[in-house]
Structures are given as structure tokens and as C-alpha cells.
Structure 1
Amino acid sequence: MIRAGLLAVMMLATTPVLAQEAPAVAQARADAQALVAKEALIEALGGMGAVDQATRVTFLKARKTASPEDRQALDAIWAEHYEPIDRRHTERLKVLLAGRGWFTPEEVGQRAADGAFHIVNHSPDLAFQKEALAKMEPLVAQGRGPSGYPNLYDRVAEQEGRPQRYATQRARCVDGRHAMPDNVEDPAGLEKRRAALGLQTMPDYLKGLDDMYGRCDPPKG
């Protein structure tokens, strides 16, 4: 009897499971396997993004109320300590982005996708910024582009000597307050273009700059 019982247990253990998983369970299993396969990528993007934002929060907190003279000293600290981080992040992101499309929240989660965008937006490498911009544009056409896409578009345009499209870069300084840039294409259509991509109105955006950066410095010379 003991041998017969043992044999029955062994047969059950080796018999294929005929019942199929419920669709929700099967999908959860597939999602878990896909996530585990991307664990290193998600950690890399999220980690670099966290460092990118921490450096800027720390720096802007010190700079916001500093005098013009102290701001020059702070800019030197930025160049010494934080610019090398941006360069290292750029080189690492180039490797992660090679041969693939732009990172989406559906693929890597919102935090990692945001991290990837912050890195390329702050990259000192114009050619790499243009490459990333081109990878984002199909997503933008589908309404799935990164929320910061207008910032990167304008940043690239400015570096190439072209007008900004969304007025996100280098606001003018008027009486210590931020004002609309003067190098904007089709100013009459600006608010419509900004609204189409979910951006604030210009008055609200400029007020946000004042709140974030404090009194602005007029151009030197």
C-alpha cells in the first residue's frame, strides 16, 4: 500500500497541468518576467535621473537668494562638481539608447522614463540631444511623448541658432523678473502650440520661473 501510494504521488508530480491560467494571471506572469528582464535598465535610468535632479535642487536652493557676486562663485562650483556628472550620464545613456527607440513609461515606468529625459535634456552633447529628439518625435505624434519634449526641442533650436517653438529657454530679464524670450517663432500662435502639448500659459510659466529661481540677472555687458 505504501509503494502504491508513493507511485501515485510520483505520477501526479510528473503529470502536466492541463488547466490553463486565468488570462489576468497569465498577463501578470508575463509582466513580471518582462520587468525582471529590464531590472538593470530601470535601475540605471532611475538612479541617474535621481542624481540629476538632486544636483539641481541642491544648487538652485543655494543660488536662488545669492548675490550676483556669489552666483559667479556658485557657477564655478557647478562647473567643477556637477558638469562632470552630466557628461558621465550622457555617455552611459548613449550606450543604453543605442539601437532602440526612446524609453516610455509603459516600458520602464514613469520614474525611469523621466530620468532618461532629464539626462538628455541636461546633456552637453548637442548631437546626442538631436538623436534623442528624433527618437521622441514618433511618440509625440501619437500623443505619448515625454512631457519635457518642448524643452528639449527649444534647447536644440537655440544651440543651432533657430527660433524657439515653445518659449521654454532663456527667458529675458526685465526689472528682475522673467519675461518671454524674444527669439520665438510665430509668437501669435505660441499659446496654441503650448496648449497642444499640455504646457502652462506663458504668464503662469514665467511666474513659475520667478518662484523657482528668484530674481533674475540681466545679461552682462
Structure 2
Amino acid sequence: MATRRKRDDSSTGKAPPPGRRVARAIVRRVRDGRQRVRLDNDARRAQLLELGMKVFSEKTYDEVSIDDLARAAGISKGLLYHYFPTKRDLYLAGLRTTAAELLARTDVSAIDASPIERVRHGIDAYLSFVAERKVSYVSLMRGGIGSDPEVLRIVEDVRAALVERMFDGPGSPLAIGDHRTPLARAALRGWLGFAEAASLEWLTHPDLEQATIRDLLVDMLLPTLRLALGFSLSRTW
């Protein structure tokens, strides 16, 4: 009886027939091509977001046209529409990306340090992001579509997440007892508003050192919380 031929020629030590080698090569090329197309699409989309946010930072939302965006990207309007059906879609996608990056960059919960040192690290990370992503940060904080609810939601979600970190951060005295009061929350939101305004002002005065702005924000935070909580945090922080 003839030995049954095995399907996998590699198990016999023999090279597969030429036709099979060609077929496998074609499959690999198709698979690799699809991966390249997907990566190219992702890279192009990210590039369009960055260029789009730069345009939005230089003009008001209403002043920016699809023609402006396509011209800045060096592509046709048709190709731009392929990635973003409307100007608003591009703008919102850019804001969401910026918001996610800001929250990721300022997460210092894993740093082994005292609460106040983590605050310093967090503020430094915040300011570094502001300096490195100036265009995107300005677009996020100044939200160009007026009272558009989706824009307001994105910005509000970032602010709420940053405030929650202050309450829930490892070792934070605000996570103990009844310190999560409406007054404490109002104090943190007020301080965060100050931090945003100071950061935007800092961008227009590059002669100011980042460490100077950081120390200013830290020095503003402690008395703000002391007034809201009714006691000093110096012992616990």
C-alpha cells in the first residue's frame, strides 16, 4: 500500500512544490499589504488631526473651512471627507485625542512619593504637555464651537477627571473622612481654572520658567484647600 502523502511538506524535510510556494508568498504579500494600508491610514488620520488642530488654533472654528483644512494637509477635499465626514467630526476627534493624551501624561499615581510631591510631578507633567502640545492644548481649553454640547462634554470630562485624581490619589488626605465636600470640590475646580488660565498665559510669555509656574500653582493649591477644609494640609502632605 502506498504511503499516504502528508499535507505538510515541511514535515518530510522536502520543500513544498513551486506552486504552493508561490501561493504562500501571495498570501503573505496580501496580508502585509493590508497591515501597511491600515498603518498608513492610522498615520494619515493622526497627521490630519494634528494639522487640523493647528488650523483651528489660528482661527475661530467658524472661520475655518474645509478648503482651509484640505489646503493645510495638502490633500483634496474628497480625501479629507474620507477620513472625516464633516469639519465638526475632525474637530471633535482632535479634542478627544488631546484630552486622552493629557490625562495619560498627567497620571502620576504610580510614582512612589508623598502626596505633595505627586502633585508637583503632576503639575510638571501638565505643563510639559502644554509646552509640547501647545496648539492642541489651546484648542482643547478654548473650545472653538461655542456652546456645542459635545465640545463642552469633552472639556468637562477632563476637568472632572483631574479633580477626582486630587480626591482619590494614593495617600491623599482628601480621600480620608468627610473631606469630599461641595466646598472642597468647588475649591479644586476653582484652582484648576486658575491653572488653565495661568498655563495659557505662560504660553504667551515663554521667558517664564516652567518651574516658576509650577511652584506658583503648588503655592496656590495648599492655601485654597486649607480655606476649604478648615485646617492645614502641611502635616498630612
Q: Tell whether the structures are fold-level matches, with TM greater than 0.5.
A: no
TM-score, normalised to structure 1, is 0.31
